[in-house]
């Protein structure tokens, strides 16, 4: 099959947008009586779009597809008929407007052979003034005392108050997501179209368009702590309604409970997510570019076993963060919110030796903690060696994130 560059781009967008599984069920041939109808509307002007090409892509796997095209009539309507209704087929309707590709949701016609797949397109803008963060949730999901690290889910419930789609400015970026400068690793989580994400300084940025309305973006990152506490600071890119910090109640038990403090931070009580209770701390009304400082105290030392949540629970947490700060529709499966993100990495040739050295340092740190626990190390030597390892780990992590060595 001869595929043009634009066709490849379209396929990449719709496959990523729908997170198609690696292998779809094999399709037995069905009846050819399926239909997909819809209307293309300009969300900026509120008018229909006549004469625009609409492409219907039929997938049997993320790499096996066929395409059919049509053009909207004077009322902006399009229609595809005679479609195979086999259960293993997935259809996606898409249109290109103002150099941006807009895709419908995933369409299955095996159960209902006649489906409606309307498409809304927008004029574009580079003005970010309409972006607000309705709620930002920092969820502590893992405490690893052996490596003295914390892992966070960082959930941004966004609202873009505009009648246009936000596209790349002169710097090639769209939305900014500030993270702590001390974060060791940052990774985007599927559920938001980051495009080809990058990081500069302590800001993750996306390159994909942001459409009007609500959406949810999630990152994970790791922070290194010393002794039993850590200070975490980050700038706020956009006006933020509230920041919520969630910590499992089980980590508050004992003589030194894990607590969070900071300017304007108040205890919001306990919520139950899944089978786990979480203590919540809130800070409301954070202005754009304002620095947020948080202190975590009472963290476990290396003599305590690692605490990890079950993998299903962070997804529940994301839902709660969003529902607490925005409408539940922000998490509804939509075509623009199902992009498979790409990891933020440096070149493989540069990353490989750094990653190997990082693994070596983590092993050294664990051995050091074991020796300290066994009483085989002088306290001053332990403190000196541990600090040296942590400094080098931070340096390597910054290099892997492409922001240089500031040690």
Span 174-224, pLDDT tens digits: 999 999 988 888 888 888 888 888 888 889 999 999 999 999 999 999 998
Inform me whether the pLDDT recorded for 83 exceeds 60: yes
Q: Residue with structure tokens 């797949």?
A: 117
Lowest mean pLDDT among 9-18, 95-104, 369-378: 9-18
Instruction: Give which of 246, 229, 250, 228 is closest to 307, Cα–Cα.
Output: 250
Question: pLDDT of 31-65, one tens digit each?
Answer: 788 999 999 999 999 999 999 999 998 887 766 78
Higher-confidence residue: 379 or 225?
Answer: 225
Inform me whether the pLDDT recorded for 85 exceeds 50: yes
With a CB cutoff of 8 Å and minimum separation 6, the contacts of 367 are none
Lowest mean pLDDT among 63-67, 73-77, 232-236, 333-337: 333-337
Q: What pLDDT is stored for residue 402 in this prediction?
A: 52
Query: Helix, strand or coil for residue 202?
Result: coil
Q: What pLDDT is stored for residue 398 in this prediction?
A: 56
CA–CA distances in Å: residue 50 to residues 38, 47, 97:
12, 9, 12
> Could you give the CA distance from residue 252 to residue 143 in angstroms, rounded to a whole number?
12
Summary count for the chain: helices (H), strands (E): 4, 24
With a CB cutoff of 8 Å and minimum separation 6, the contacts of 348 are none
Higher-confidence residue: 283 or 388?
Answer: 283
CA–CA distances in Å: residue 155 to residues 245, 250, 319:
10, 22, 10
Q: What pLDDT is stored for residue 375 in this prediction?
A: 74
> Whole-number mean pLDDT of the chain?
77
Q: What proportion of the chain, given as a percentage, has pLDDT over 90?
A: 41
Inform me whether the pLDDT recorded for 264 exceeds 50: yes
Residues across the chain: 407
Radius of gyration of the chain (CA): 24
> Could you give the CA distance from residue 118 to residue 54 in angstroms, rounded to a whole number?
11
Reading the block at residue 85, the tokens are: 């209704």
With a CB cutoff of 8 Å and minimum separation 6, the contacts of 224 are 147, 148, 149, 182, 184, 230, 390, 393, 394
Question: pLDDT of 274-298, one tens digit each?
Answer: 777 889 999 999 999 999 999 999 8
**5-121 topology per CATH:** Immunoglobulin-like (2.60.40)
Q: Residue with structure tokens 């203590």?
A: 279
Residue range 131-337, CATH number: 2.60.40
Instruction: Give which of 161, 131, 163 is closest to 42, Cα–Cα.
Output: 163
Higher-confidence residue: 324 or 290?
Answer: 290
Q: What is the mean pLDDT of residues 387-398?
A: 66
> Could you give the CA distance from residue 85 to residue 104 in angstroms, rounded to a whole number?
18
Query: Helix, strand or coil for residue 280?
Result: strand
- Which band of pLDDT confidence, cut at 50, 70 and 90, is reported for residue 311? very low
Q: What is the mean pLDDT of residues 253-261?
A: 75
Largest CA distance in the chain: 82
Q: What pLDDT is stored for residue 104 in this prediction?
A: 85
Inform me whether the pLDDT recorded for 316 exceeds 70: no
DSSP code at position 110: S
List beta partners, residue 299.
none
> Could you give the CA distance from residue 286 to residue 237 in angstroms, rounded to a whole number?
10
> Could you give the CA distance from residue 113 to residue 324 in angstroms, rounded to a whole number?
38
Q: What pLDDT is stored for residue 178 in this prediction?
A: 95
Q: What pLDDT is stored for residue 114 in this prediction?
A: 94
């Amino acid at each position: 099959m001869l595929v043009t560059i634009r066709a490849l781009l379209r396929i990449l967008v719709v496959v990523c947008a729908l997170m198609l599984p690696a292998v779809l069920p094999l399709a037995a041939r069905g009846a050819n009586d399926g239909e997909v109808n819809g209307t293309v509307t300009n969300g900026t002007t509120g008018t229909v779009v006549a004469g625009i090409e609409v492409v219907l892509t039929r997938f049997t796997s993320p790499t096996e597809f066929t395409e059919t095209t049509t053009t909207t009539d004077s009322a902006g309507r399009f229609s595809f008929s005679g479609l195979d209704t086999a259960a293993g087929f997935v259809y996606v309707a898409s249109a290109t407007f103002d150099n941006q590709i807009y895709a419908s949701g995933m369409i299955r016609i095996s159960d209902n052979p006649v489906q409606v797949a309307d498409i809304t397109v927008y004029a574009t803008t580079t003005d970010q003034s309409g972006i607000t963060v309705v709620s930002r949730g920092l969820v502590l999901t893992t405490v690893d005392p052996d490596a003295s690290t914390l892992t966070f889910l960082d959930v941004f419930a966004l609202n873009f108050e505009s009648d246009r789609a936000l596209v790349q400015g002169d710097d090639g970026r769209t939305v900014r997501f500030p993270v702590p400068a001390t974060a060791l690793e940052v990774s985007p989580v599927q559920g938001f179209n980051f495009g080809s994400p990058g990081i500069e300084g302590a800001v993750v940025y996306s390159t994909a368009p942001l459409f009007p309305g609500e959406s949810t973006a999630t990152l994970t990152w790791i922070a290194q702590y010393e002794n039993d506490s850590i200070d975490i600071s980050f700038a706020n890119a956009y006006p933020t309604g509230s920041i919520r910090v969630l910590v499992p109640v089980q980590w508050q038990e004992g003589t030194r409970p894990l607590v969070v403090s900071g300017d304007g931070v108040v205890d919001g009580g306990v919520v139950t997510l899944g089978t786990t209770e979480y203590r919540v701390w809130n800070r409301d009304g954070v202005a754009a570019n304002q620095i947020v400082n948080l202190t975590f105290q009472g963290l476990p030392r290396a003599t305590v076993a690692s605490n990890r949540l079950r993998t299903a629970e962070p997804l529940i947490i994301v839902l709660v963060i969003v529902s607490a700060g925005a409408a539940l529709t922000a998490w509804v499966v939509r075509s623009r919110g199902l992009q498979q993100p790409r990891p933020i990495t440096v070149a493989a040739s540069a990353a490989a030796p750094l990653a190997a050295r990082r693994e070596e340092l983590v092993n050294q740190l664990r051995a050091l903690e074991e020796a300290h626990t066994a009483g085989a190390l002088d306290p001053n030597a332990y403190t000196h060696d541990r600090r040296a390892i942590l400094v080098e780990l931070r340096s390597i992590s910054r290099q892997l994130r492409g922001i240089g060595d500031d040690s």
